[in-house]
Amino acid sequence: MNKKVLLKDLGNKDYKETWDFQETLFKEIVDLKIRNRREAAGIETPNHFLIVEHPHVYTLGKSGDISNLLVDEKVLEEKGATFYKINRGGDITYHGPGQIVGYPILDLDNFFTDIHKYLRLLEEMVILTLAEYGLKAERSKGETGVWLDVGTPFARKICAMGVRASRWVTMHGFALNVNADLGYFDLMIPCGIKDKAVTSLNVELGKPEIDMDEVKQKLLRHFEELFEAELVKEKTPA
C-alpha cells in the first residue's frame, strides 16, 4: 500500500481549472486500478492532495437544490462570482478568498476502504487544527462538516465538506473558512441547512486576519498523523 501523498499547493486558482485538474488525476488513478485488475499489473497507485484558494464561486452538488442559491446570475456577476453544478455529494457551497480548500485524491485501497471513516478523519483533521487556536469544534449529527456550539441556538459552521468516490478513489473535499468574507454566504442557504449560521476563524478569534500558511501547515500535519501518510511536496503544474 502506497502511503505517500503528493502535495500540490495551487495558490489562488480558478475553480473550473482546478476541477478539471482533479478529474485528470482522479481518472489516472481509476484507469490504473482497472488495468491492475484486468492485467494483474501490480502497479502502485498514486495519491494526491491539492490545496487551493478560489476566486468567488458557488457550487451545487448532485443532490442539491438550486433554490438554495438565493440570487440570479446577474447578481452573481455583480459580486464577481461564478456558479457550477458539480459531481460531489452535498448541496450548495461557497468558495472564495480567505478560505483553505483541500482536495485529497486518494486511492483508499492504500489506506482503508471506508468512506464514512474517510469523512470522519477529514473532520477530525479540522477539529484538531481548530483546537490549536483554542476553539472547541464538533461534528453535528446528520450534518457533514465541522461546527461550533453544536446543540445551541448559536450553532455555526466553519468548515464544509463534500466528496465523490468511485472504485475507492476520492475527489473534492473540504473548505475551511479562515479569513472568509461571510457576506457571500448570505446569497445562499449554506449546504441547504436553514437557520444555521456560518463563521470564519478570524471572526471567532476576533482578529482581522489569520496566517493562512500557518493554518495549512497544522491541517497537513494532522492529515499525516490521522491517515498515517507521508506528504511529499510536488511542484505545481504549469
Q: Give the residue ranges of the annotated binding site.
A: 88-95, 160-162, 173-175
The residues assigned a catalytic role are 191
What is the per-residue DSSP string for 2-69?
--EEEEEEEEE--HHHHHHHHHHHHHHHHHHHHHHHHH---PPPP-EEEEEEPSSEEEE-TT--GGGB
Instruction: Write the CB contacts of 197 (distance below 8 Å, at least 6 apart in sequence).
Output: 154, 155, 156, 157
Q: What is the pLDDT of residue 238?
A: 46
Q: What is the CA radius of gyration of the chain?
A: 18
Q: What is the pLDDT of residue 61?
A: 82
Q: What is the pLDDT of residue 235?
A: 67
Q: Is-contact 50 8, C-beta < 8 A?
A: yes
Q: What is the pLDDT of residue 216?
A: 98
Domains of the chain: 4-233 (3.30.930.10)
Q: What is the pLDDT of residue 192?
A: 53
Per-residue pLDDT of the chain (238 residues; tens, 9 = 90+): 899 999 999 999 999 999 999 999 999 999 999 999 999 888 999 999 999 999 999 988 887 888 888 888 889 889 999 998 887 877 788 999 999 999 999 999 999 999 999 999 999 999 999 999 999 999 999 888 999 999 999 999 999 998 999 999 999 999 999 999 999 998 887 655 566 789 999 999 999 999 999 999 999 999 999 999 999 998 655 4
Q: Give the residue ranges of the annotated binding site for substrate.
A: 88-95, 160-162, 173-175
